[in-house]
């Protein structure tokens, strides 16, 4: 499904009437060590977020664990490739997931439907499948309480829909039991 999303993104970017005037640019992606990792060719009107989606698709590195740097500055997701210095070489910094107290804060925010807090914590990046002592993840808890937007953010961050609690429940089961059909 990730491959479909990236394909749809590329189709959107190159669809007639959208980016017909856009020149394609080659974006080289390297590791911190300087070793070549990947290259992608996208319309110059594409954003850095499109590059990150390609990386997620091709290399299975979750979007929220990626930071792209040009020179010594982190590049914002919304920056258009046309605004970057050519030739475009971006350094990929892979962040490790944070757990512990930050993970517990994610569970608290999921329980209380604090959408903006969940989004901020996922960008730290906190492990989207962080669980409490009973095996309840943020997705399970948000499903239990009917917090649809929180659940969407967790799903976008690749939270597992199949992770069972200690008692064998998964998020879909608990949502259905409580009448949360969204």
Instruction: Write out the H or E segment, with its range, that includes residue 91.
Output: strand 88-94
Does 18 have pLDDT greater than 90?
A: no
Task: Judge whether 106 and 122 are in contact, CB under 8 Å.
Answer: yes
Over residues 30-50, the mean pLDDT reads 97
The range of the structural domain enclosing residue 153 comes to 101-177
Residues 30 and 78 in one domain: yes
Encoded tokens for 59: 């290399």
Tell whether 14 and 45 lie within a shared domain: yes
The chain-wide mean pLDDT, for the chain, equals 87
* Number of domains present in the structure of the chain: 2
From 94, 129, 149, the end of a domain falls on 94
pLDDT recorded at residue 145: 92
* Distance, C-alpha 125 to centroid of its chain: 9
Which of 14-28, 88-102, 136-150 shows the lowest mean pLDDT across its residues?
14-28
Q: Which residue has the higher pLDDT, 177 or 73?
A: 73
10 and 86 together in one domain: yes
Q: Which two tokens stand for residue 100?
A: 């512990």
Sign of the CA dihedral with 76 first, then 77, 82, and 84 last: positive
How crowded is the C-beta side of 15, counted as CA atoms within 13 Å?
8
Residue 125: count other Cβ atoms within 10 Å of its Cβ: 19
Residue count of the chain, please give it. 182
In a domain, 182, yes or no: no
Within a domain: 85 = yes
**Antiparallel, parallel or unpaired: β 24-31 and 88-94:** parallel
CATH code, domain carrying 116: 1.25.40.20
Instruction: Name the least confident of 16-20, 136-140, 151-155, 177-181.
Output: 16-20
pTM of the model: 0.75
pLDDT band at 170 (very low <50, low <70, confident <90, very high): confident
CATH for 41 = 3.10.20.90
């Amino acid at each position: 499904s990730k491959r479909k999303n990236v394909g749809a993104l590329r189709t959107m970017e190159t669809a007639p009437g959208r980016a017909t005037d856009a020149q394609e640019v080659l974006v080289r992606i390297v590791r911190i060590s300087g070793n070549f990792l990947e290259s992608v060719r996208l319309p110059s009107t594409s954003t850095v977020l499109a590059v990150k989606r390609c990386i997620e698709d091709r290399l299975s590195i979750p979007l929220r664990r990626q930071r792209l740097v040009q020179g010594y500055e982190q590049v914002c997701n919304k920056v258009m490739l046309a605004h970057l210095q050519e030739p475009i070489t971006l350094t990929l910094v892979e962040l490790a997931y944070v757990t512990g107290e930050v993970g517990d804060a994610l569970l608290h925010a999921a329980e209380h439907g604090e959408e903006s807090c969940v989004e901020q914590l996922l960008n730290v990046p906190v492990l989207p499948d962080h669980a409490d002592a009973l095996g309840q993840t943020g997705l399970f808890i948000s499903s239990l309480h009917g917090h649809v937007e929180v659940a969407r953010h967790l799903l976008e961050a690749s939270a597992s829909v199949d992770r069972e609690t200690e008692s064998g429940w998964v998020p879909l089961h608990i949502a259905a039991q409580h009448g949360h059909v969204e």
